[in-house]
Chain A
């Protein structure tokens, strides 16, 4: 199971945080600090996996953003790496050639996509179409408008 997902820039600024287990604010801050220090100090040619307490940290850098995922000990590291990649592909499809700025200025959209894709710390294997359609349809939601015909769009 995935415990948390963090996105941060090369300077260590947090861009997205998702916690799949209850944590206090202090714990979250400490973990974020630890993650940024650990991941940013890794050499470029090292493997993408780290140990931290009793969890395994999987990280990958895409352009100027570091994606950092924590999994439990029994989980498969390589698949976690692919979870990160899949999320990036979804973001890319939605934003069209996504860059860090897209995520900074539209972080709530990034969260919506994440929620459709990872639930309760587990990935949902849904067809790519389903994830994209549900994001796009919800995007079309206009305040005050009746959203019935948007339902048709979503549910085909």
Chain B
């Protein structure tokens, strides 16, 4: 490795004179992007900004259409075009040139070309077809970096109809000696599965190979596909439960290389994917659930550290425990966990605790009762999101005794809430409750606070009000 390091060090002074360096202070004054940005920040009005950007776009348009522009200049023009589009100005004349840049440029130019394509275009854009040839060529390149770039762009967008053309090339990359290529190939296949599932039916056994790959990165990538497959058909994959449990055991037990640790937690995103998969597999299935109990217990125990990511894992664990076939010791531990969340002074954790309670309350209403003081406090919390979450929880524990109070609180919330989507949701809930427990005074409250304040809402909620009117006849 040492002569590579030497080569790197000798090349550095040459590279440092370029304008593509981290840190704005190292940006050379001749950089056109730097000038553009500085120009914009100096302006004070939107109108002036528009004028400046339009001038810039006209100049870019001239230069991209000129036959004398080199690929290096084109790269620089693309970056400025991306910037202008980001600010909200249309630069569609540059799309075709982005594809050209990806096709004809080398190395960094190609990279910027692909980046521009992934930012400008989307799956339904007609120009995307032109990209296919470039990608096909790059996938067969001997330069591995070009292969990586092609796979990256394919995983982001690809026209559905051209998948058969590219599938064999991507498939063969699954066996590539380098793990970064294998991983990107798996992700590209995941994308294909999402947009055209019937095209990738025949290679399911290759996904299994990826699951057993010795590189954890490739294995994690295959889990995305498995989560999707298992969501659609849990029965077909029950035989893999032991494999998933084994992998999770190894991760939780710290058997992965130290490199995969995030704040001393081993591969948290991998743990969460596995927990989600196990949740789907163990649902309504006692024998499958029994395989998982030990590893779930272990995960609960290991998550002792005080970091957000640990809480995230705990949340998934708790969700899993409550979804699969119940086991009392695990349920007890999970309940304790939820209790800790709800009582936590950290607001994000309180939110998660409430969410967990909502999820859990059907199976275990006593838990909500245990924390009712905190729940009542949360009702009056200054943060609307916590309030809303609490109302969501209360909706699920209404009974004949507390329904009036709960509906009153919901109406109170509706008065201060400004978000249409939430309002519709809550009004629906109130209507549901009113139907279950006939409440005359709800109708009266409806007529009161809602109508004068939000005129347009009358139209939307007329259907709800007429339902109530009908019921009360």
Chain A residues packing against B (C-beta within 8 Å)? 14-19, 22-23, 25, 29, 32, 43, 45-54, 76-79, 81-82, 85-86, 94-96, 101-102, 104-109, 111-112, 115, 119-120, 122-130, 134, 137-145, 147-156
Contacts and interface: CB of A to CB of B under 8 A. Distances in A.
Interface size class of B (residues with CB under 8 A): 35 or more
A143 B111 CA distance: 11
Given A51-B388, A147-B143, A79 B269 contact: yes
Given A17-B86, A52-B421, A154-B145, A143 B115 contact: no
Given A46-B347, A82-B308, A119-B155, A124 B217 contact: yes
B34 A105 contact: yes
Given A79-B309, A81-B348, A47 B224 contact: no
B123 A49 contact: no
Contacts of B352: 77-78
Interface of B: 1, 4, 7-8, 11, 14-15, 20-24, 27, 33-34, 37, 71-72, 75, 79, 82-83, 86-88, 90, 105-109, 111-112, 115, 118-119, 122-124, 143-145, 148, 152, 155-157, 178, 180, 183-184, 187, 190-191, 194, 216-217, 220-221, 224, 257, 259-260, 262, 267-270, 272, 308-309, 311-312, 315-316, 347-348, 350-352, 355, 382-383, 385-386, 388, 419, 421-422
Contacts of B184: 119
A126 B180 CA distance: 9
A47 B347 contact: yes
Contact of A78 (B106, B148, B308): B308
B143 A148 contact: yes
Instruction: Decide if the interface of chain B is mainly helix, strand, loop or mixed.
Output: helix
A80 to B, nearest CB: 9
A134 B385 contact: no
A81 B422 CA distance: 23
Given A102-B23, A102-B24, A105-B24, A130 B82 contact: no
Contacts of B7: 149
Given A79-B316, A82-B309, A152-B4, 5 more contacts: A22-B157, A49-B385, A77-B351, A125-B220, A142-B107
